[in-house]
Structure 1
Amino acid sequence: MTDQRPTILITAPFDDVAAAALGEYAEVIRIEPTLAGDSLAARGLEAELGRANVIVAELDVVDGAALDLAPNLQLVVSCRAKPVNVDLEACSVRGIPVATTPGRNAEVTADLSFALLMATVRHVSASERWLREGNWTADDVFEPYERFRGIGLGGRTLGILGGGAVGRRVLRRARGFGMNVLVYDPFLPADAFGDEASVVPLDEVMAGADIVSVHVPLMPETEGLLGARELALMKPDAYLINAGRAAIIDEDALMEVLREHRIAGAGFDVFYREPIGRDEEILALDNVTLTPHIAGASDDVVAEHSRLAAAAIAAWRAEDSIPSVANRAALETAAA
C-alpha cells in the first residue's frame, strides 16, 4: 500500500465503531445492506465500485461482473466463514485476495445449540403451545407435570460431533451443566481436551451419549455421516440436536427414526430444504423441536465479523500476511 487513503466499500451489516476506526485511515463508503443476494453489479454502484480498493460484503455477490466494475480493487472481505458469495477463481485471476471471517458466529451458534438442546429435552416449545392453546385447566392442575416430564443434564453424557469452533464452545457450556462429554473428531488426538472431554470414535459417541449434538462442517466426507446404521446405535431414550448442517444426517434414515419414535426426541435449526415447506412431514411430528435457522441471528455476529474484517484490512494496508485468505494457494501459484 502507498500512503494514499484507500477506499473501502462496505455493503455488509457493519459495526459503527469498527467503521469509524477504518475511517481514520481510509475513505469508508457504507451502503445499506439488502437480503437479495444479487451481484454487486446489479445494485447501481458503478461509481463506488470504480473507486473501491476494498469490498466488504456478506450477502451481495462479488462475481465477475462486479469485478469488471472495480478496476482498483485489491482486497475482498467476505463476511462469511466460507466465501460462498465471492467468485474465488475470478478474484484469483485478477490477483485479488479474498479474506473470510471464520468463527464469526461460533459463540451465538453454541448458545442457540444449547438452548435448542434444553428446549428439546425439557419440552419447552411443546409445553408453551399446550399452554397457549388453553389446555391447562383446574380439572387437572398437575397435568403438565406429567405430560412434559424431561431429563436433567447433570451427570448425563453429551456427544459432540465436531471439535471445532462451535463444538468447543458447546463443550464448555455442557461442562458448566455438569455433563460428561464425548467428542468425535478424526482430526483431534484423544487427549485434545484433557479432562474436559474424551475424543472417541463415532460409534462410541452415538452409542454412549444421552444427547448427540452435530457440529461437523459440511463437506463431501461428512455428507450423510449419520445414516441408518449410526442412528440405530443411539439409545432409545437419547436425543439428537442439529444446529449445524442438515445434510450431515441422511434424511430418509432420520425421518424413519423420528417417525417410529426410536429415540426420545430431536431438535433442529437446519433443514434439507430452506425455507421448509408447509407440508413437510417433520412439522407434524410431536417429538421434535424446530427453529427456523436462527443460530447466527444476533447483532453480536455483526460486531464479530466487523472486527475480523477490520483486522484483515489492517493487515492488507500494512502489507502483512492477511488472515484467513480463501484463495491464498491460487494466488501463490499465480505468483510463482
Structure 2
Amino acid sequence: MSIKPHLVITAAFDRTRVEELRGHFTVHMVVPSIAGESLSDRGIDELLDIAEVIITELDRVDEATLAKTANLRAVVSCRANPVNVDVAACTSRSIPVLTTPARNAEVTADLAFTLLLMTVRQSSQAERWLRAGNWSADDVFAPYSLFRGIQLSGRTLGILGGGAVGRGVLKRARGFGMSVIVYDPFLPEDAFGDEARVAPLDEVLASSDIITLHVPLMDETVGLLGARELSLIRPDAYLINAARAALIDEEALVKAVTNHELAGVGLDVFWQEPVSSDHPLFSSDIVTATPHIAGASDDVIREHSRIAAEGIAEWREGRRPETLKNPEVWSA
C-alpha cells in the first residue's frame, strides 16, 4: 500500500473538502491562528518537516518556515493575493504557490450593495432614531420627512473596477433596474455588452447617481479619488467604499462630507483600523458605516476551500493550476 503525501492545513477549512483531500493525502489539521505569525513559530516543526503541501490563510510561510520544510512541494494561500507567503523564496526553491482568487467576491458584492441601500435609504440613521424613542404620537409622520431616500430603478450606478466584485455589484444593480457605467482602464468599452458601458474615470464620477469602489489597492490606485475627483461628483450623488480606504484621500473626503458636497457616503473600510469613535466622519449624519465586514461570512471559507482543493487536484494531476501565482516554476 502506497504512503499518502502529508498535507498540513492551518487555515479554516470546509470539512467536506478536507474529506475529499484525505482520499489523496494524509491530512493534518492545525488550529487556525489570527496572529499572522510565521509557521516556524507555531510549534509544529514535526509537521513542517514531513509536509509536502501546506494550506494557510493568515500564518506566514517565510524563509524561516521554508528552512524547516525539507519535503515541501506546494503552498496554497487562502487569499487572492498571497501576502502571507514569501513567493520569491518559494520560487527559488521551485515550489508552486497557489491562491484562492475571488473567494469573497460574492459576499463582498452583497455587503457593498447592502451598504449602498443603507446609505441611500438612511436605514442606519432611521434605526438609531427609532431605538432612541423619538417616534411619538405627536408626529407619527416624522420619520417620513426625516429619512427621505431615492429609488434605484432608473438611476445610474458608477462602478470603479470591473473585476469579480465589481461584476457582482453590476449584476445586482441590473436586477434593481439601474443603468451602469464602469471605470476600468484594463477593459474595452464593450466588455460588458449591453449590461454596462466602460468609460473614463471623470465621466463615471460626473455622470453617476451612486459611485461604488471595487479597484485593487496598488501604488497606482492609492488616492484614486482625491479632492479633484471628489469635486466631480454631483452634490446629490452618493459614494460607497467597501474595497480599501486608501483608494480615497481621507482629508479630501472629510472636507467633502463636512461641507455636504455629497448626498451620502457609505464606508466599510477605514484608513486606520480599528477606527476611532471620534473620527470626524462619524459626526456627520450623511455617513453610514460598518466595521469592515464585507468578507465576514462562512461562505468565504467554503469558497476558498473549494478553490484550494481544485487547485491542488490540478497540481497533483500534473496540470498547471489556474490559480498559480508563480508560473515560472511550472516551466522550469
| Counterpart residue number, 2:9 | 10
| Counterpart residue number, 2:111 | 112
Instruction: State the alpha-carbon separation in 1 of the partners of residues 250 and 96 from structure 2.
Output: 37
The alignment's TM-score, normalised by the length of structure 1, stands at 0.96
| Counterpart residue number, 1:23 | 22
> 2:8, 2:30 within 8 Å by CA — same for their partners in 1?
yes
| Counterpart residue number, 1:235 | 234
| Counterpart residue number, 1:49 | 48
The 4+ residue runs of structure 1 with deviation greater than 2 A are none
What is the CA distance between 1:248 and its match in structure 2? 1.0
> 2:5, 2:52 within 8 Å by CA — same for their partners in 1?
yes
| Counterpart residue number, 1:299 | 298
2:274 matches 1:275: yes
| Counterpart residue number, 1:35 | 34
Q: Which amino acid aligns with 1:178?
A: G
Aligned pairs (5 A) from 1:115-134:
115-134=114-133
What is the CA distance between 1:90 and its match in structure 2? 1.5
Instruction: State the alpha-carbon separation in 2 of the partners of residues 93 and 192 from structure 1.
Output: 37
What is the CA distance between 1:283 and its match in structure 2? 2.1
> 2:224, 2:247 within 8 Å by CA — same for their partners in 1?
yes
| Counterpart residue number, 1:245 | 244
Aligned pairs (5 A) from 1:283-322:
283-322=282-321
| Counterpart residue number, 1:258 | 257
| Counterpart residue number, 1:192 | 191
Q: Which amino acid aligns with 1:202?
A: L
Superimposed CA distance per residue, residues 257-279 of structure 1 (whole angstroms, 9 cap, x where no aligned partner): 11111010100111111111233
Instruction: State the alpha-carbon separation in 1 of the partners of residues 139 and 44 from structure 2.
Output: 64
Superimposed CA distance per residue, residues 236-291 of structure 1 (whole angstroms, 9 cap, x where no aligned partner): 11000000111111111111111111010100111111111233222222211111
- 5+ residue gaps, structure 1, are none
Aligned length: 331
What is the CA distance between 1:70 and its match in structure 2? 1.2
Instruction: State the alpha-carbon separation in 1 of the partners of residues 30 and 284 from structure 2.
Output: 43
Q: Which amino acid aligns with 1:279?
A: D
Please give the secondary structure, in 1, of the residue aligned with 2:312. Answer: helix
Instruction: State the alpha-carbon separation in 1 of the partners of residues 38 and 185 from structure 2.
Output: 38
Q: Which amino acid aligns with 1:222?
A: T
Instruction: State the alpha-carbon separation in 2 of the partners of residues 283 and 14 from structure 1.
Output: 36
What is the CA distance between 1:11 and its match in structure 2? 0.6
Aligned pairs (5 A) from 1:135-146:
135-146=134-145
The alignment's TM-score, normalised by the length of structure 2, stands at 0.97
> 2:54, 2:76 within 8 Å by CA — same for their partners in 1?
yes
| Counterpart residue number, 2:204 | 205
RMSD, aligned α-carbons: 1.2
| Counterpart residue number, 1:181 | 180
Superimposed CA distance per residue, residues 7-41 of structure 1 (whole angstroms, 9 cap, x where no aligned partner): 11001010000000000111111111121111111
Q: Which amino acid aligns with 1:52?
A: A
Aligned pairs (5 A) from 1:165-180:
165-180=164-179
Superimposed CA distance per residue, residues 105-128 of structure 1 (whole angstroms, 9 cap, x where no aligned partner): 000000000000000000011111
Instruction: State the alpha-carbon separation in 2 of the partners of residues 180 and 33 from structure 1.
Output: 43
- 5+ residue gaps, structure 2, are none
> 2:96, 2:330 within 8 Å by CA — same for their partners in 1?
no
Please give the secondary structure, in 2, of the residue aligned with 1:196. Answer: coil
What is the CA distance between 1:148 and its match in structure 2? 0.5
Superimposed CA distance per residue, residues 100-151 of structure 1 (whole angstroms, 9 cap, x where no aligned partner): 0000000000000000000000001111111111111111111111100111
Superimposed CA distance per residue, residues 288-332 of structure 1 (whole angstroms, 9 cap, x where no aligned partner): 111111111111110110011001111111111022222224x36
Q: Which amino acid aligns with 1:208?
A: S
| Counterpart residue number, 1:58 | 57
| Counterpart residue number, 2:151 | 152
